[in-house]
Chain A
Amino acid sequence: MWAITRLLAGKDLRVEMRSRVIINQVVPFAALMMVMFAFALDSDTVLARVAPGLVWLAAMFSLLVIVQRSFALEAADGALDALRVAGANAGGIFLGKALALAAQLAVLEVILLGAALVLYNSHIVGSGIALLVGTYFTATAGLAFVGTLYGGLAVGAKGRETLLPLLMLPVVAPVLIGATRATEAALGTNGATATDGWPWVGLLTLFAVVFGVGGTLSFGSLIDE
């Protein structure tokens, strides 16, 4: 299983290195969202207060694009079918695609946080750095697992482009809430302190574990006939 995990993750990252779709299209899309939020809210005070939520909203919408892209690669020329015929371990396929997704999402989230610091005048509190790292790690893992699971579910469906957000967004709502609250605590937004954020990291960890284990065990039946 681990060999297939490494193989799939390496392949997806190599595809991105060659095509640069995430760098040339998804990152500008996410950055544009951050700018549009600033235009729409048009108040430094409000923006600083809601910055953590906007960062995670932008990450979530970008995730939809990355997941669509990740599974379009497999569907375009029947590669997912070929992976099944090749007898590739389904749990390994799930973990490999989730790992590549997490790596791409992590880069994007760092850029989004940087944009929030610059555009929304947010600040990282010294005591909140560990919390911020923990939040990013667990939330990214949770989003990547859910994205891969629902990407696999929607890949063979009619109208998958519109079906995916409909299926996925309600499921990732706990990540949006947890990651936003934990990031607020890390940035000291609305008077929150770093200690307020750790219970949310616990929730994000539980979410990631449930979807990581569930996805690994169930992905085979999702992509099989």
Chain B
Amino acid sequence: MEPVVELVDVVAVLGQFPVLAGASLRVARGEIVLLRGPNGAGKTSLLRLCAGLLVIRRGSANVLGVDLVADRSAVRSRVGLLGHSNGLYADLTVADNVRFWGATIGASADEVLGAMQRMGLDDRLADVAVSRLSAGQRRRTALACLVARRAELWLLDEPHAGLDAAGRDELDAILRAAASSGATVIVASHELERAGSLATRVVEVVAGQVRERAL
């Protein structure tokens, strides 16, 4: 089966600062891969690289069949990157936000509604301004935006941060459901116990390089 992510000896820089130094990684469709490693090791950079946001200086990178060296912008509409921020507009309602992000790829009203229902954002929350939501509800709204955008590859940076125990369980269930429905998930996390139980595979990022680890 063709891999969703295939990085071979990738070197990437941010400004003049090298953030990935010969990283190689292969991820198959439907996998949930945990990236672990110390702060500054390159986990976030690896996610941003897969989202087509970093310039590749050396090596080869293929994500969802797109050669990132040739055209990294072509992959962007097919991946969903959820970093430390949620990418939401605080003054707009939950429904406004999901509708907006869905509209960037031409999602229908039914798809938007379906994405909200899948994330447990019922009618009671749909018309609430994002500024009035809890951290967990904002995270769920952001995930609904990824679903509405039909993201094939979910790149999540510390997705459990700021969530209570119930919110974490809910998020894990959402990610498992996403993977079982054909999406591929890569999670960068320090919470090894939590994210480790979720992952089908763990890879360690150290000093901009990637090493496979046993679960």
Contact = CB atoms under 8 A, between A and B. Distances in A.
A76 B90 CA distance: 9
Contacts of B145: 82
B87 A82 contact: yes
28 contacts: A7-B104, A11-B89, A11-B96, A18-B92, A18-B129, A19-B91, A73-B89, A77-B89, A77-B90, A78-B84, A78-B85, A78-B86, A78-B87, A82-B81, A82-B87, A83-B87, A83-B104, A84-B76, A85-B52, A85-B53, A85-B79, A86-B76, A86-B77, A87-B73, A87-B77, A87-B78, A87-B104, A88-B104
Given A15-B91, A73-B89, A78-B87, A85 B14 contact: no
Contacts of A3: 103, 106
Interface of B: 14, 51-55, 73-74, 76-81, 83-93, 96, 100-101, 103-106, 129, 145, 149
A116 B108 CA distance: 47
Contacts of A86: 76-77, 101, 104-105, 149
Contacts, number: 74
Q: Describe A's contact surface by its main secondary structure.
A: helix
Nearest to A74: B89
A177 interface: no
A4 B101 CA distance: 11
Contacts of B81: 81-82, 85
Nearest to B82: A82
A18 B91 contact: yes
B89 A15 contact: yes
Contact of A77 (B54, B77, B87, B105): B87
A86 B92 CA distance: 19
Nearest to A6: B103
B76 A14 contact: no
Contact of A85 (B55, B76, B91, B129): B76
9 smallest beta-carbon distances between A and B, as pairs:
A82-B87, A78-B85, A87-B77, A87-B76, A19-B91, A86-B104, A85-B81, A77-B85, A18-B91
B14 A79 contact: no
Candidate in A3, A76, A79 with the most chain B CB atoms within 10 angstroms: A79
Contacts of A83: 87, 104
A7 B99 CA distance: 10
Contacts of A78: 83-87
B88 A77 contact: yes
A15 B93 CA distance: 10
Interface string A46-88: 0000000000000000000000000001001111011111111
A175 B129 CA distance: 38
A83 B103 CA distance: 12
A7 B51 contact: no
Given A7-B103, A15-B89, A81 B83 contact: yes
